[in-house]
């Protein structure tokens, strides 16, 4: 059975590119898209995806606070943080909110797919390009 994924990013072009890349993987099915954190939380509650790919910085409700709500309301859902910020501080905040992964937007799609696969099996994934961050 394919992994059910929700993609949340306020940049439409990037979000559509991520959706298209994930849909090309036979083991993944994108079940919804959100342009802000409020919609991401709402759709997660309704659709119960396996994984949410969450942009960290979004309008209305940022990805950190949206992740915190999702993990509280839907503890079986895994969140992959997606960001332009190669910052240990952002990664730590996202992981502290309950995300299982932190991936940089300037990475390749294969890395995002690896992160989704890793978290869906209960693991944690961090982009290697995050300086000075070493999770415990």
CATH code of 10's domain: 3.40.50.2300
Confidence class of residue 134 from pLDDT cuts 50, 70 and 90? low
Predicted pLDDT of residue 136: 45
Predicted pLDDT of residue 59: 87
β pairing state of 101-104 and 28-34 = unpaired
Q: pTM of the predicted model, to two decimals?
A: 0.93
Whether 8 is covered by a domain: the verdict is yes
Across the beta sheet with 51-55, what order do the strands follow? 28-34, 3-8, 51-55, 78-83, 101-104, 125-126
Encode pLDDT of 98-126 as tens digits: 999 999 998 888 999 999 999 999 999 99
Predicted pLDDT of residue 135: 54
Whether 7 is covered by a domain: the verdict is yes
Asked whether the beta carbons of 86 and 104 are under 8 A apart, the reply is yes
> For 19-24, what is the mean pLDDT?
90
Whether 94 is covered by a domain: the verdict is yes
Confidence class of residue 130 from pLDDT cuts 50, 70 and 90? confident
Whether 132 is covered by a domain: the verdict is no
> In angstroms, rounded to a whole number, what is the distance separating the alpha carbons of residues 8 and 35?
6
Confidence class of residue 133 from pLDDT cuts 50, 70 and 90? low
Asked whether the beta carbons of 70 and 97 are under 8 A apart, the reply is no
Where are the strands (E) in 17-59, listed by range?
Answer: 28-34, 51-55
> For 85-96, what is the mean pLDDT?
90
Whether 135 is covered by a domain: the verdict is no
Encode pLDDT of 57-73 as tens digits: 998 899 999 999 999 99
Whether 20 is covered by a domain: the verdict is yes
Whether 58 is covered by a domain: the verdict is yes
Calculate Rg over the CA atoms of the chain: 13
Tally of domains in the chain? 1
Whether 134 is covered by a domain: the verdict is no
Q: Which domain holds residue 26?
A: 3-126
């Amino acid at each position: 059975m394919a992994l059910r994924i929700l993609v949340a990013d306020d940049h439409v072009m990037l979000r559509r590119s991520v959706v298209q890349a994930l849909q090309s993987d036979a083991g993944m099915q994108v079940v919804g898209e959100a342009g802000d954190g409020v919609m991401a939380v709402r759709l997660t509650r309704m659709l119960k995806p396996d994984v949410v790919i969450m942009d960290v910085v979004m309008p209305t409700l940022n990805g950190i606070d949206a992740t915190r709500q999702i993990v509280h309301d839907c503890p079986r859902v895994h969140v992959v943080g997606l960001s332009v910020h190669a910052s240990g501080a952002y990664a730590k905040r996202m992981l502290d909110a309950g995300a299982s992964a932190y991936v940089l937007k300037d990475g390749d799609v294969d890395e995002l797919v690896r992160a989704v696969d890793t978290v869906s099996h209960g693991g944690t994934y961090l982009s290697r390009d995050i300086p000075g961050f070493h999770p415990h």
